[in-house]
Amino acid sequence: MVAASIYFVATGAVNALLPKFVVDELAGTEATAGFVMGSAAFTALATRMWFGRTADRNGARRILVMGAALGAIGFVLLATSSTLTLAVASRLVLGASGAAMVTGSTMLGIQLAPEGRRSQAAALVLVSFHAGMGLGPMGAERLLTALSYSWVWGVAAGVSLLSGGVAMLLSFRPGVPNQEPSPMIHRNALWPGVVTLFGVFVFNGYMTFLTLYAREVGMKDAGVAFLVASATMVIIRVAFGRVPDIIGPIRAGSGALVLSVIAAVTIAVWATPTGVIVGAALVAAGLSLQSPSFIAIAVDGVSDRERGSAMATFTAFYDVAGAIVAPVLGLIVTASGYRAAFLMTAASSVVALVVLHTVVAPRWYRNHPAG
């Protein structure tokens, strides 16, 4: 959690400022900003399966260190960016970096947990992502005000290296080098991944365009909204991280998706600074129990030998969502405004609910008659 939190402080800083950097410094549009942000998903998707198999064979610590090193390279590249092409190149490197960090840290958390508490373990590891991403934007906004974008990107590179140093201190949990390769794509994780693909539209869209949307409604410091979202996730995942283990991941995930629909509709109709902050809390609350619930389904019944493969397959759907959400919503914002974009994300959560209850839930209840 510590290693991942440090890394995601740097990522949070970049995610908060990069859309504004593209529009203000590189003369891009909201659609361009969406494309730049979404480009990271392509390399994340291309590399994630390899990282999962590497973790199964050689241990997860190795890919955490690799992810931190790639992050530093990506941030340095961004510091030299004076064109959209260089900004996209930086995001491509950072996509692979993030894939390594998410896959490795989540896999380690699940390895350390007893079977009946894997949802809680996943929730706690995910806390580290959002704790870092909440603190990063606050510091980035202040550093930008005092210095420049280049300083923000340079400091992010140093923070990423620090994360790699912490990862080097972790206890080494080796894989099994001589075992047969785990599946490149794990079937157990496919349908939970599809639910996640549609379920994260609300969160991805809101966080991608938060700085630009906040400016449109007259909010001076979007960092406050990022902090509110982060704090909400930390509180819910720490206090209620065992909910999917207790009531079952289908019920917990369903409630989280319904809350995401409510969040997106609220944001669409309440276009004020207060609405931005309330929306941040609701969006974060909706996502907080989605991921732990669907991770638990994705790894249910999967052997230790294939757990990295299952996690990589599941988390790859975050990459697919990242590749789709930002560019599509950028086009919708440019053509029809933010309200239409946020209502579209609400519809995607409804689709996730339908898939969850028509495809995933019947299989889960067959394997777990008690729910």
Enumerate the domain spans of the chain: 2-171+181-367
Given a cut of 60, is residue 124 above it in pLDDT?
Answer: yes
Computed from CA positions of residues 75, 79, 83, 84, in that sequence, does the dihedral angle turn out positive or negative? positive
Residues 2-171+181-367: name the CATH superfamily: MFS general substrate transporter like domains (1.20.1250.20)
pLDDT of residue 178: 47
- Give the residue ranges of DSSP H helices in 147-248: 149-168, 190-199, 201-216, 223-240, 243-247
Decide: 315 and 129 in contact? Cβ < 8 Å: no
Decide: 136 and 8 in contact? Cβ < 8 Å: yes
What is the Cα–Cα distance from 285 to 240, expressed in whole angstroms? 11
Q: Of residues 68 and 24, which shows the higher confidence score?
A: 68
CA distances (Å), origin 146, targets 139, 141, 143, 151, 212: 11, 9, 5, 10, 20
> pLDDT grade, residue 370 (50/70/90)?
low
End-to-end CA distance of the chain: 30
Given a cut of 90, is residue 352 above it in pLDDT?
Answer: yes
Instruction: Give which of 307, 328, 256, 248 is closest to 286, Cα–Cα.
Output: 256
Burial of 113: CB neighbours in 10 Å, binned 0-12, 13-18, 19+: middle
Token couple for 47 = 């590399």
**Using alpha carbons only, what angle is made at residue 239 by residues 233 and 243, rounded to the nearest 5 degrees?**
95
Using the 8-state DSSP alphabet, how is residue 277 labeled?
Answer: H
The predicted-structure confidence for 171-216, as pLDDT tens digits, reads as follows 655 555 545 656 667 787 889 889 999 998 888 888 777 777 888 8
pLDDT of residue 134: 66
> pLDDT grade, residue 308 (50/70/90)?
low
